Amino acid sequence: MESSPFELLEPAKVTIAGGPSAGMIIHTATGRTLGQLGGFVVESAHQQIRYLVVRATGLFGKTTLIPFSAARLDVEGRAIEVDVDDRDLWLLRNFTPDQLLPA
């Protein structure tokens, strides 16, 4: 089994601005809610966040990865805003944690 250069950090283990990150919402700059924060995918060698794990809401919601670049934090709203558009979301629709992280 191959070792992954990435690791998953659960939201319960990460504090943001002094508060827990568990339960935070992920949305786009246009205000579209993508889902709830499911974790952070960190590049092990540099200890940098590369992706957010997003658990989509709804009955058939699925878990996908969204690039962390250009993310903004709304501490009071308990949300993380990501700079992705509909085209990006379409391209990322099948990008799951299973593709980067060991089982």
Asked whether residue 92 is assigned to any structural domain, the reply reads no
Domain CATH number, residue 50: 3.90.50.10
Q: What is the mean pLDDT of residues 63-85?
A: 90
pLDDT given at position 36: 95
Question: Which has the higher per-residue pLDDT, 57 or 54?
Answer: 54
pLDDT tens-digit map of 15-44: 888 888 999 999 998 889 999 999 999 998
Confidence at residue 9, expressed as pLDDT on a 0 to 100 scale: 92
Segments forming the whole domain that contains residue 62: 1-8+22-82
Query: ∠19-24-26 over CA atoms, to 5°?
Result: 140
**1 pLDDT higher than 60:** no
Q: pLDDT for 80-95, tens place per residue?
A: 999 998 899 899 989 9
Would 32 be classed as within a structural domain? yes
Per-residue pLDDT for 76 more than 80? yes
Q: Tell me the whole-structure pTM to 2 decimals.
A: 0.88
CA distances from 66 to 2, 31, 34, 95 (A): 23, 16, 10, 8
Average confidence (pLDDT) over 60-71:
86
Flag whether 52 is in a domain: yes
